[in-house]
Amino acid sequence: MTKVRTTLTIDPDVLRAVKIRAARLGKGDSDVIEEALRRDLGLDLLDRLWAANNLDEADAQALAVEAQHRTRA
């Protein structure tokens, strides 16, 4: 995955907490911040769902159509 450099303005207490967490986990500050953002934005859930997906294209479409029909009156 390609990474992009950016600049943040962040509360010093939040940054301190990031640094502590990073040190405890043996990770970089950027990794801790990115993981937190992914969790908050729900991206980690989407990644887990896609990783667990074992349906082929036809089965996935059939499931989507079935779900659509069930939600309609």
pLDDT at 38: 87
What total number of domains does the chain contain? 1
pLDDT at 73: 62
Q: 52-69 pLDDT, tens per residue? A: 777 788 887 887 788 888
In a domain, 4, yes or no: no
Q: 19-55 pLDDT, tens per residue? A: 999 999 999 999 999 999 988 887 777 667 777 777 7
Take residue 27 and report the two structure tokens written for it: 């990770």
In a domain, 42, yes or no: yes
pLDDT at 25: 97
Q: Domain of residue 39: give its range.
A: 12-71
Take residue 35 and report the two structure tokens written for it: 């993981």
pTM: 0.61
In a domain, 63, yes or no: yes
In a domain, 61, yes or no: yes
In a domain, 22, yes or no: yes
